[in-house]
Amino acid sequence: MPHGLWTPESRPCQAQAVATNSPAVTAKTLGAWLIKGSLGVYPADTFIRTRLSTVTGWCLRKSYRTDLIKPGQPVLFWISGASKTHPAGLYAQGQTAGRATADVADDEWVDPAGRGQPKLIMPVKLRPLAAPVLRSDLLQHPSLRQIEVLRMAAGSNPSFVTPADLVALHSAWPQVTVK
């Protein structure tokens, strides 16, 4: 698809960019991509009930980060919001299944206005965590309380964790096994 299709109006699922002098993530500082979904925007509740078998890709905001995506990179899936049944936190893990590509949002979108609209999609293969790693628990961890998704909840999608963050996640929550 032509680059001109990526306007703010055609990306309702994506947060606004924050300008910085240097990139927050590089190939060397990437431990895992962290993709975010909200129960009010995405059908995350359905994804959880189906054990994420229907998730093959995730909508991203076009940025320098999307150019860093390659097949086989670790991915963590975060659910945002204040749901009592699915509190904010990490719910799945897996790998990228290819580079981010232009596609069209399918019928699973909660917001009917987003269906059929051009999106940038990261192909993924996800599997649910045996138990979620909740935001409330991450906030108590001495180093993980500083991860980007906690510092800037409305930040970029994809977000990321560093290699050191990924080691800390493995250490504190053994159900996080993605490498």
Q: What is the CATH number of the domain that holds 142?
A: 3.10.590.10
- Provide the pLDDT for residue 137: 98
CB atoms within 10 A of CB 174: 10
pTM of the model: 0.80
CB 126 within 8 A of CB 75: yes
**Digit-coded pLDDT (tens) for 157-179:** 899 999 999 999 999 999 999 98
Residue 46 lies inside a defined structural domain of this protein: yes
| Domain span including residue 119 | 30-172
Q: For residue 125, which of 13, 41, 45, 33 has the smallest C-alpha distance?
A: 33
Question: Total domain count for the chain?
Answer: 1
The amino acid at 167: V
Residue 18 lies inside a defined structural domain of this protein: no
List Cα–Cα distances, 33 to 26, 72, 80, 125, 153, in angstroms: 11, 11, 15, 13, 15
Residue 145 lies inside a defined structural domain of this protein: yes
Residue 11 lies inside a defined structural domain of this protein: no
**Digit-coded pLDDT (tens) for 114-169:** 666 667 899 999 999 999 999 999 999 999 999 999 999 788 889 999 999 999 99
CB 157 within 8 A of CB 60: yes
Residue 126 lies inside a defined structural domain of this protein: yes
Residue 178 lies inside a defined structural domain of this protein: no
**Digit-coded pLDDT (tens) for 48-103:** 777 777 788 888 888 899 999 999 999 999 998 887 888 999 999 999 999 999 88
CA distance 28 to 141: 24
Residue 19 lies inside a defined structural domain of this protein: no
Residue 1 lies inside a defined structural domain of this protein: no
